[in-house]
Structure 1
Amino acid sequence: MSGLPKGGSFLFGDTNPQDIFTPEDFSMEHNMIYRTAAGFVNDQVLTRMDDLEAKQEGLIRELLEAAGELGLNGADIAEEYGGLPMDKISTTIIAECMGRSGSFAMTQGGQTGIGSMPIVMFGTHEQKMKYLPGIASGEKVGAYALTEPGAGSDAMSAKTRAVLSEDGKYYILNGTKQFITNSAMGDIFIVYAKIDGDKFTAFIVDGDSPGLSTGAEEKKMGIKGSSTRSVILEDVKVPVENQLFEIGKGHVVAFNILNLGRYKLAANSVGNAKFALELSAAYANERKQFGVPIASFGLIKEKLAEMAMKIYAMESMVYRTGGLLENMMESLDLTGEDSGQVAAKGIEEYALECSMNKVFATEALGYAVDEGVQIHGGYGFSAEYTIERLYRDARIYRIFEGTNEINRTIIPVTLMRRAAKGDLPLQEAVQELKSKISADNPVREGVAGLVQAAKDIFLIAMGMSMEKYGKELPKHQEVVGKLANLAMQAFAMESAWLRGEKAAAKQGQSAAKLKLTMAAAYSYGTIGKMVCEAKEILAALTEGEELVNALITLERLAMYTPQNTVALRQEIAAAVSEAGKYVV
C-alpha cells in the first residue's frame, strides 16, 4: 500500500488533480463496456419493464442469463471460475448503467454483489468452483440473507442459530431472514447464523435444501420487479464444507462485502439520476405553458441545473473512489489462495469513502427524482410517465446496504479510530488549524479556496466535538451526523473541483468550461449551508462567551466573496436543455 493515499486522508492535505480518476479518463475498453452495458439495459430491460414489474414468470432468469452472455455478471469473478474479470472502473461502469434498469438493478446487483462477493472474497477454491460459474452465467441466482425481523441495522443481534450435527457432517440452521432480494428464485443463499448461539458465522446454503422456504412476496412501494421475501430455515442441513470463512468471523465477511455494496449502490444512483434528468429535460423542452417551453422558466432552469450539479458531484466522487479502489487492487499481491481476503482488506481501507459515496449519491438521487416529478407536474404523479416509477424505486436506496443514518455514524467514527491508531493526523491537523487562525484570515478566493474552507470547517467542528465528548462522541448521533455531512460535502466539492481542473489542464479552460462551472455552482451553493450546519454543531457543544468565540473562529475560516450562482445555474440549465440530458 506504499504510496497510496489512506482512506480519509483527503481532509488533511491537497490532492493533485492528476492523481484522481475521472470519467474523462475512460479507456477504449471502458467505453466499449459502457456501450455494452447501456445497450443491454436500453434494449433488453427497459423495453420489457412492464413485464418485469408484473413479475412475468422466468423473465428475471432470462435477463440474468442475457447479462451473463455479455460478461456483465462475472466482472468480479476470476476466469478460472467462469468469470470475465475486469478492473474496478469497469465494474463501476456496469453498476452505473444498471442503475437505469429499475428493479432489475437490484436483482443483478444482488447477483454480482452481496450474493456472490462473499464467495469471491472468502470462499475456498472448492466453493468457488462449485458456485461461481453459475452466478457468472446467470444460470444460478444468488441471494444474501443477513437481515432479520428483529435485527435490521444491528446485524450482530441475529437470532438464526446453527448447531453441528452429531455426526459432524452438517450444521443445522434454524431462523428467519427478512427482506431478502432474489429470494423467490434463489439458488444460492449467503446466510448468517450463530453457531451455538454466539459464534456469528457465514454459510453457503443451497436454495433447494429441505427445510428452506420463502414467505409471500413483499408488497413494496417500488422496485416491484425484483423478488423480496422472507426466508425461513427449519432444520436446514448445511454441509460443513459450506461454512464460509472462519467460525465466528461472519462479521468480517458481512462488513467487508457491504463496503463494496455501498460503493456499487452509489454507482447505480449515478445512472438512475442521469435517467431522471434525461426524462425531465426532455419533458421540459416539450411541455409548453403560456406559449413557451417550461424549460425557459427560471425556476425550472434552477431545478435542471441543481439536478445536473448534484449528478456531476456524485459522478466525480464515485469515479474518484473507483480509481482509489483500482490503484489499491494493483498494489496488492492477489496471486495466493487468500487473494479474495487480501482484496477485501484493501477495499476496507476506503470504507469511509464508500459510506460517503453511498449517502451522498442516494440522497442526490432522491433529490433528482423528486424534482423530476415536480417538473412533470401532474403528469409526474401518473404511472403513465416513467418518472413516477423512478421516484418510487429510488426511495429504497437510502435504506439498502446500511441505512444512511448508519453510514453517517461510520464516517466520523472511522476517522476517530484511525486517528487513534496513528493512521490519520486528525488531532495534529486540528491543532495546526487553530494555530493559524487569526484576525486577518484571508478571504477565500475561487473554488480552491472554498474546498479548503470546507475541510477547515469540518476540522474545527470535529476538533471541538472530540474535546467536548472524547471517546463518547459516537453516542451523540445528532452531532456525529452533522459532522458526517461536513466531511461528505468537503469530499464532494473537492472531487468536483479536481475533475474540472484535471480536464482544464488536459483540454484547456474552454473545453472544460461546463465542468468548472458545475464545480463552482455546486461549491458556492454548498459552502453557506456547511457554515449553518457547523453553527448548529458548535451551539450543541458550548454556550455563552465560548460559543461566541467559536462562531468568530468559524466565520474567519469561511470568509468568501459570493458568486452569482443564479447565472451559473442558467448556464448549466441551458447546456442540459440543449442536450436534452445530463452533459458535461
Structure 2
Amino acid sequence: MANPVWGGGRFIVDDALPEQVVTPEDFTEEQLMLADTVRAFVEREIKPRDADIEKLDYELTVRFMRKAGEIGLLGADVPEAYGGLGLDKTTTTLLAETLAPASSFALSVGAHTGIGTLPIVFFGTPEHKARWLPKLATGELIAAYCLTEPGSGSDALGARTNAVLSEDGRHYILNGSKLYITNAGFADLFIVYAKVDGTHFSAFIVERDTPGFTIGPEEHKMGIKGSSTRPLFFEDARIPSDQLLGEVGKGHLIAFNILNIGRFKLAAGCLGGMKEAIQLSASYANQRKQFGKTIASFPLIAAKLANMNTLAYVTESMVYRTAGLIDHSLGQVDSGQPEEGLNAAKAIAEYALECSINKVFASEAMDSVVDEGVQIHGGCGYIQEYKIERLYRDSRINRIFEGTNEINRLLIPATLLKRALKGELPLIERAQALQRELLKPPQLSSPSGARQDPTESLTSILSALKKVFLMVGGLAVQKHGLRLEREQEIVAALADGMIDLYALESALLRTRKLAQSAPESPHLQHAVDMTALFAEDAAERAGRRSRTVLASLEKGESLRLQLSVLKRLLRFDPADASLIRRRVSACVISAESYVGI
C-alpha cells in the first residue's frame, strides 16, 4: 500500500485512508475524563446560574472564568512551561464541544482561550509569555481579540486604527476604534490590530488601564446576550513599544493564523450546540402528544430528528478529522526552537482551507438543526422558557463570526488554487487527466453479485463527486484563469462542492474505519445509514450546482456535451431515504439524544 498523503486540500486530489482520520471512537480514557470534568462543571456551576449570566453579570462571569481556570480549562492550549496543560488539538476540541451547552459563558471562555490567548502563545516573545500566559491560564487575567472596526469587518486589512512610534521610541501612540469586541466589558488584556504609520498592519498587546484607552457601552444583541460585546476607543493611547506582538507589518500573519483556529474551534462549539438541540427536541417529541400519540411517532417529525442527527454525525466526523490533521501537522514542528510558536501557527495554517470548510458547514448545519428543533417544539419553541428558543437566537451569529460564510466561501477555492499554483498539490494535473478519461467511451459495468462492503456504493458516490468537481472546476479555471475570483457565484458554487466533498469523505472514512475495526458492531448500520443520507443529498446538490455553473461556462452543443458527461457521472441507484430516515430516527427517539457510533 502506498504511503498515505497528508496536506491541506489533498482530499480533492487524493483518497484518504480510514486510518488517517481521528474519530470520537478513538478518544482515550484520559480525554473522556477531561470532558466529564468540563461537563460536570457546566451542569453544577453554570446551568444553575444561566439566567443570571444572561443578564450580563460581569462579576459572575469572571468568577466562573476563574473557576474554569482552576480545573485547567483556560490553560488547555497554553504550554506547560507557562502554567497551562499544553494539550493536543483533538483534546481541546473535545473540551470546546463539551462546553457548548454553557451558551454565552462558552463564548466568553472560547474568546479568551482561543483568539485572545493564542496570539501570545504563538507569536509572543519569551518575556510576553512569562508575563501574561500564567495569569491567562488561571483566569487572573482575561483576554479579548480586537480586529473589527466600523469601516472594516471582512476586509480586515482595511483597518484604520493608526499607530505611530513616539520620538523616544518607548511607546506606540494609538488612535482609532474597534467594534463588536467580545469580553470587552471585563477583559484585562486586548490583542489590538493597528497600522503603523497608517500602512504597516501590526498587532499590539494593550492593557485595560492604558491611558487614552476607553471602552464604550454594551451592544444590545439578538442572541448570546450573556457575553460582553462593546466598542473600544483609542485617543493617543500610549502602548509600550515592547508590547508590539510579532514584527511591524506582519500583523496579518497573526490575525489570519489565529482566525484559522477560531474558525475551527467555532465548528466544535456548533457541534456541541447541535447535540444539545437534538437532545432537547427528541425529549420534547417523546413527551408532547397530539391526536392521542407522541409526536415522535409521526414520520415527518421523526424525519426531522434523523436529518438533525445526520448533520451532527457529519459535523462530528469533520471536526475530529480536522483536529487529527492539525495534530499531525503540529507533530512535525521541532519543539524548543526559537521559532517554535511561528512554526506551530504555520503548521495549523497548512489546514486553513479545512478550517474554513468546518466553519461554514458547522455554522449552517447548526442553524438547520436549531430551526428544526424550534419546529418540533411548535409554539413552545417560540417561548423563552424553552431553551431551544435561546439556541435558535444564539446560533445565528456563527455565520458571521470569524469571517462571514460568504468570505470563507471565497477563500476556500482561492486557497486550493493558490496551493496548486505553488506546486503543493497536483490539482491541474488531476483535472487534465480527468478530461482525457472523460473523452473515452463509457465502459458498461456488469453486476458483480452481492456487495460485502456496506460502504462500497458510498465510496463510488464520493469518487463521482470528486470527478464532478474536477470537471466543473477545471472548465472554470480554463475559461476565467486567475480572473475566476471575480466570478463570485462560480467560486461560491465550487466552495460548496468542496465543502460537500470534505464532509462526505470525513463521514465515510469514519464509517469505513468502524466497518474495518468492528464489522459485527451493532452501530455499523446506523453509521452507514447516516452516511448514505448525506451522500444522497450531496449528490443531488452536486447535480443542481454543476448544471448552473456549466450553463454559465458553455453554450450550445458544448453545453449539451458537458451536461451529458455530468449525467453519466451522477448516475446512481437512489437509496430508500424514507426507510433509512426511519431507522436513524428510531435510534434518536429511543436514546432521546444524539446518537453517533
Task: Report TM bin, short chain.
Answer: over 0.9
Q: What residue identity is the alignment partner of 1:539?
A: A
3-state DSSP of counterpart to 2:178: strand
Matches within 5 A, 1:85-96: 85-96=86-97
Residue 561 of structure 1 pairs with residue 596 of structure 2: no
Q: 1:158 to 1:34 in 2, by over 3 A?
A: same
| Structure 2 counterpart of 1:287 | 288
| Structure 2 counterpart of 1:502 | 513
| Structure 2 counterpart of 1:522 | 534
| Structure 1 counterpart of 2:485 | 474
Matches within 5 A, 1:136-155: 136-155=137-156
Give every structure 1 segment of 4 or more consecutive aligned residues whose post-TM-superposition deviation is greater than 6 Å.
Answer: none
1:262–1:355 contact (8 Å) kept in structure 2 = yes
3-state DSSP of counterpart to 1:393: helix
Range 286-295 or range 500-509, more displaced: 500-509
**What percent identity do the matched residue pairs reach?**
48
Q: Partners in 2 of 1:442 and 1:224 — Cα distance?
A: 59
For 2:442, which of 440, 443, 466 is the aligned residue? 440
Q: 1:89 to 1:6 in 2, by over 3 A?
A: same
| Structure 2 counterpart of 1:246 | 247
Q: Partners in 1 of 2:367 and 2:441 — Cα distance?
A: 41
3-state DSSP of counterpart to 2:185: helix
1:334–1:342 contact (8 Å) kept in structure 2 = no
2:93–2:268 contact (8 Å) kept in structure 1 = yes
Residue 422 of structure 1 pairs with residue 434 of structure 2: no
3-state DSSP of counterpart to 1:179: strand
Q: Partners in 1 of 2:548 and 2:42 — Cα distance?
A: 44
Q: Partners in 1 of 2:40 and 2:509 — Cα distance?
A: 30
| Structure 2 counterpart of 1:458 | 469
1:79–1:85 contact (8 Å) kept in structure 2 = yes
Q: Partners in 1 of 2:329 and 2:7 — Cα distance?
A: 10
Q: Partners in 2 of 1:540 and 1:270 — Cα distance?
A: 36
1:178–1:231 contact (8 Å) kept in structure 2 = yes
| Structure 1 counterpart of 2:270 | 269
Q: 1:494 to 1:126 in 2, by over 3 A?
A: same
Deviations 1:533-555 (A, max 9, x none): 11111112122111111111111
2:5–2:16 contact (8 Å) kept in structure 1 = no
Matches within 5 A, 1:169-188: 169-188=170-189
Matches within 5 A, 1:355-370: 355-370=356-371
Residue 487 of structure 1 pairs with residue 489 of structure 2: no
Q: What residue identity is the alignment partner of 1:471?
A: L
Q: What residue identity is the alignment partner of 2:77?
A: D
Q: What residue identity is the alignment partner of 2:500?
A: Q
| Structure 1 counterpart of 2:303 | 302
Deviations 1:413-442 (A, max 9, x none): 011111111111111111111222244256
Matches within 5 A, 1:15-414: 15-414=16-415
Deviations 1:3-30 (A, max 9, x none): 7611010111221111211110001111
| Structure 1 counterpart of 2:452 | none
3-state DSSP of counterpart to 2:115: coil
3-state DSSP of counterpart to 1:184: coil
Query: How far apart are 1:167 and its partner, in Å?
Result: 1.3
1:445–1:561 contact (8 Å) kept in structure 2 = no
Q: Partners in 2 of 1:474 and 1:580 — Cα distance?
A: 45
Q: Partners in 2 of 1:3 and 1:505 — Cα distance?
A: 17
Q: 1:439 to 1:292 in 2, by over 3 A?
A: farther
Deviations 1:130-181 (A, max 9, x none): 1111111011110001000000100111110001111110001010000000
Deviations 1:425-481 (A, max 9, x none): 111111111222244256796101111111111111110110111000111111101
Q: What residue identity is the alignment partner of 1:293?
A: T
Q: 1:161 to 1:347 in 2, by over 3 A?
A: same
2:191–2:206 contact (8 Å) kept in structure 1 = yes
Query: How far apart are 1:103 and its partner, in Å?
Result: 1.0
Q: Partners in 2 of 1:7 and 1:231 — Cα distance?
A: 36
**CA RMSD in angstroms, aligned pairs only:** 1.3
Name stretches of at least 5 consecutive residues in structure 1 with no aligned partner. none
| Structure 1 counterpart of 2:556 | 544
1:441–1:556 contact (8 Å) kept in structure 2 = no
Q: Partners in 2 of 1:441 and 1:83 — Cα distance?
A: 59
Q: What residue identity is the alignment partner of 2:595?
A: V
2:116–2:144 contact (8 Å) kept in structure 1 = yes
Q: What residue identity is the alignment partner of 2:316?
A: E
Q: Partners in 2 of 1:545 and 1:100 — Cα distance?
A: 55
Query: How far apart are 1:79 and its partner, in Å?
Result: 1.5
3-state DSSP of counterpart to 1:120: helix
Residue 578 of structure 1 pairs with residue 578 of structure 2: no
Query: How far apart are 1:558 and its partner, in Å?
Result: 1.1
Q: TM-score, normalised by structure 2?
A: 0.96
Q: Partners in 2 of 1:454 and 1:188 — Cα distance?
A: 47
2:165–2:171 contact (8 Å) kept in structure 1 = yes
Q: What residue identity is the alignment partner of 1:374?
A: Q
Name stretches of at least 5 consecutive residues in structure 2 with no aligned partner. 446-454
3-state DSSP of counterpart to 2:203: strand
Query: How far apart are 1:127 and its partner, in Å?
Result: 0.4
2:70–2:138 contact (8 Å) kept in structure 1 = yes
3-state DSSP of counterpart to 1:369: helix
2:285–2:295 contact (8 Å) kept in structure 1 = yes
1:153–1:403 contact (8 Å) kept in structure 2 = yes
Query: How far apart are 1:56 and its partner, in Å?
Result: 2.0
| Structure 1 counterpart of 2:450 | none
Q: Partners in 2 of 1:98 and 1:529 — Cα distance?
A: 33
Query: How far apart are 1:525 and its partner, in Å?
Result: 2.5
Q: Partners in 2 of 1:545 and 1:238 — Cα distance?
A: 65
Residue 535 of structure 1 pairs with residue 541 of structure 2: no
Q: TM-score, normalised by structure 1?
A: 0.98
2:58–2:185 contact (8 Å) kept in structure 1 = no
Deviations 1:314-364 (A, max 9, x none): 100000011101111112102112211010010110000000000000100
Q: Partners in 2 of 1:149 and 1:276 — Cα distance?
A: 34
2:5–2:14 contact (8 Å) kept in structure 1 = no
1:442–1:559 contact (8 Å) kept in structure 2 = no
Q: What residue identity is the alignment partner of 2:141?
A: K
Q: Partners in 1 of 2:87 and 2:529 — Cα distance?
A: 33
Q: What residue identity is the alignment partner of 1:216?
A: P
1:211–1:236 contact (8 Å) kept in structure 2 = yes
Q: Partners in 1 of 2:444 and 2:129 — Cα distance?
A: 58
Q: What residue identity is the alignment partner of 2:529?
A: T
